[in-house]
Amino acid sequence: MNAKLILATALFHVLLLVGIFADFYFPVYSGKDVVVAATARDPRDLLRGQYARLDYSFLNPDISKLKSDLQPGSELEYGDFLYAVLEPGKDAMELAGIYKTKPESEIFLRGRLQDEFTVPAKWTEYSEKPQIRYQIEAWFTSPEEAKKLEERLLKEKQVFVRLRVSRGGRARLVEILQ
């Protein structure tokens, strides 16, 4: 009896870990390729190692210039899902709108609001902007690749990255394009 309980508990934990891994990599294997523009900087962190911090136009969007279903005066809570709808641009996909409700057939990214946000009754250039995260903000790499990327970032202000986006809007960063 005791051995069966231990075996069942161990099997449950293994299946749980496999499920977490599969859930994280699902967009990589089932998603569509999407290229977006990003600006990057090369921070170093003793605990996190070598990585590039990527900033996108849809992280802190100016909703006054976009299509949106956010109603003036509505209050959004930390952790609420917001959807960034993308449309083809000149060199890459560009932000077309931010929505509270999940879009039907367009290419979109699902992100989480990082702070409470009240939609202004009237938008101005000084209005607060929502901070949204999509789990594609950091690119981890080897020390050699980080050095090459750092040199490239000193020359270029903008880079293009390839994402894989699932039908539900979950995105994973696949590569920084040359």
Are residues 88 and 17 located together in one domain of the fold?
Answer: no
Residue with tokens 């009237």: 122
In 3D space, the residue among 130, 138, 98, 127 whose CA is nearest the CA of residue 114 turns out to be 130
Say if residue 61 is in the same domain as residue 17. no
Give the C-alpha separation, 19 to 136, whole Å. Answer: 20
The reply to whether 44 and 117 lie within a common domain is: yes
* Statement to judge: residues 104 and 126 lie in one domain: yes
**Which residue, among 26, 40, 58, 30, has the nearest Cα to 176 in the 3D structure?**
40
What is the model's pLDDT at position 84? 93
Are residue 15 and residue 92 in the same domain, yes or no? no
Same domain flag for 96 and 13: no
Residue the block writes with tokens 């000084």: 126
One domain for residues 59 and 5: no
Statement to judge: residues 53 and 16 lie in one domain: no
Reading the block at residue 31, the tokens are 């998603």
Domain limits at 160?
31-176
Domain count, the chain: 2
Q: pTM of this prediction?
A: 0.80
Tell me: do 7 and 60 sit in the same domain: no
- What are the pLDDT tens digits along the chain (178 aa)? 688 888 888 888 888 888 777 776 666 667 788 899 888 766 666 566 677 788 898 898 888 888 888 888 888 899 999 999 999 988 899 999 999 999 987 789 999 999 888 888 776 666 788 899 998 988 887 878 877 777 787 788 788 999 988 888 888 888 888 7
If asked whether residues 124 and 57 sit together in one domain, one would say yes
Q: Are residues 134 and 146 in the same domain?
A: yes
Query: Are both 26 and 52 inside the same structural domain?
Result: no
Strands (E), the chain: 32-41, 44-45, 49-55, 67-68, 75-76, 81-88, 93-99, 108-113, 117-118, 132-133, 138-140, 159-165, 171-176
Cα separation, 93 vs 78, in Å, equals 27
